[in-house]
Amino acid sequence: MTNSRKFWTLRYIIINATYFAVYSGIHAYASVFLLEKGFSNTLIGITLALANILSVIFQPFVAGLIDKQGKLTNRNVSMASTALLLIGSILLLIIKSGIAAIFIIFALIYMVQMVYQPIITAMYFEYEAAGCHIYYGLARGLGSAGFAVTSFFTGRAIGRFGVSILMILDIIFLAIALIVLYFFKKPETSYKEISKDEVAHNNLFSFIKTYPGFMLFVLAAVCFFFAHNAINDYMIQIITPLGGTEAQMGIAVSCAALLELPTMALMDKIIKKISAKNLLLISGTAFLIKTLLMLIAPNMIVVYISQAMQMFAYAVFIPAGAYFVNQTMARLDQVKGQAYFNISITLGGVFSSLVCGRLLDIRGSHFMLTVSFAVTAVGLIIAFFALKVVAISRENALK
């Protein structure tokens, strides 16, 4: 093994860590940033919903282009996305007022980052198949650690330096990511020709017909991430009635993210003992428990316990979902599969942003969490049926 190949995992870790460090600034602190800029809760909801809707449109489209195995590769799209995020962050740092301009720019960079997320995962499977060995679970877990560390210090930094520190940190992390991505080149000798027998299902209806159970599970995952996004996007509004502060929000967010690391780091071993299908069901159950704990929380201690459920919820869902796609889909559909998994997160964000921002203004955070719990429970029921359909489809395919 050459010296350069020894650093595949290290470079992939940096790509993940910087991505999720920026994710902290753009997503976890979206409400904090936009409230400071004069946005109401309802307008914040509209902003995030628009960004997520655009993401839903562009994710399968971009994934379909990448699946065609042309010049638009996972790496090239990642570099372009990072550059756009860098430009947007610089503009948000420069622009001090003007809700319309901030609305447009923030919605666009929020959207671009969501489109970019499944491509990072697809890039791992592409490079792994090419012989560039990467410890995915460790890299993805350290990505969450990057989110955790950034969130922890950002909560305190905002109190001292103001919300502009969010964009300053994003610019630094994005610059690092762009440099690493530039040198993250897959060896040309590892390219595997596409067989004439391989077919890509780029049409949505064709994709649904080919993978009905998978797409039904995407619907279940939308329900899971309705609550997940509601808690993440409106954390400050949830904990304020409990006496929570921005600094405590930073602790709550970083606690959840840090606890993702051990689960994700061990996923390469866990997946050998527990099937991806069963792990996804465990994840759905954990999402339900997490939402319930947040709903009944009388103080910040229970909020922290709720956030700790992240190690069984999101930390299991993301890598298990990635392996599930790789195991159940044809090669020319795998980037789209990763995209549709991410779309479940996105659509959860769309509905939670549209509904929860309004619920907060009208009925408060407790009612918003009650609705989120009910939606998650429905999602868990759908998930059981969806994964049964997947199992039956695979059995029929083997006959």
Q: Which domains does the chain have, with CATH numbers?
A: 5-184+204-398 (1.20.1250.20)
Q: Note the pTM of the prediction, 2 decimals.
A: 0.79
pLDDT (0 to 100) of residue 190: 46
CA 369 to mean position of chain CA atoms? 21
| CB contact set of 166 (below 8 Å; sequence gap of 6+) | 25, 29, 32, 33, 154, 158
Q: Residue ranges of the chain with pLDDT lower than 70?
A: 1-6, 69-70, 188-199, 395-399
Distance from C-alpha of 215 to C-alpha of 387, rounded to nearest angstrom: 10
pLDDT (0 to 100) of residue 234: 86
164-183 and 74-94 are packed helices; what angle lies between their axes, rounded to 10 degrees? Answer: 160
| CB contact set of 163 (below 8 Å; sequence gap of 6+) | 29, 32, 33, 36, 37
pLDDT (0 to 100) of residue 69: 66
| C-alpha torsion sign, points 322, 129, 137, 236 | negative
Over residues 95-114, the pLDDT tens digits come to 887 899 999 999 999 999 98
Q: What is the mean pLDDT of the chain?
A: 87
Long-range residue pairs from 272-276, CB within 8 A, at least 24 positions apart, any chain = 276/320, 276/321, 276/323, 276/324, 276/327
pLDDT (0 to 100) of residue 308: 93
334: tokens are: 């795998």
Q: Give backbone dihedrals phi and psi of 86, rounded to 5 degrees, phi first.
A: -65, -45
Over residues 143-176, the pLDDT tens digits come to 878 887 888 788 888 888 888 899 999 999 999 9
Distance from C-alpha of 164 to C-alpha of 158, rounded to nearest angstrom: 8
Closest alpha carbon to 271 in 225, 318, 309: 318
pLDDT (0 to 100) of residue 6: 60
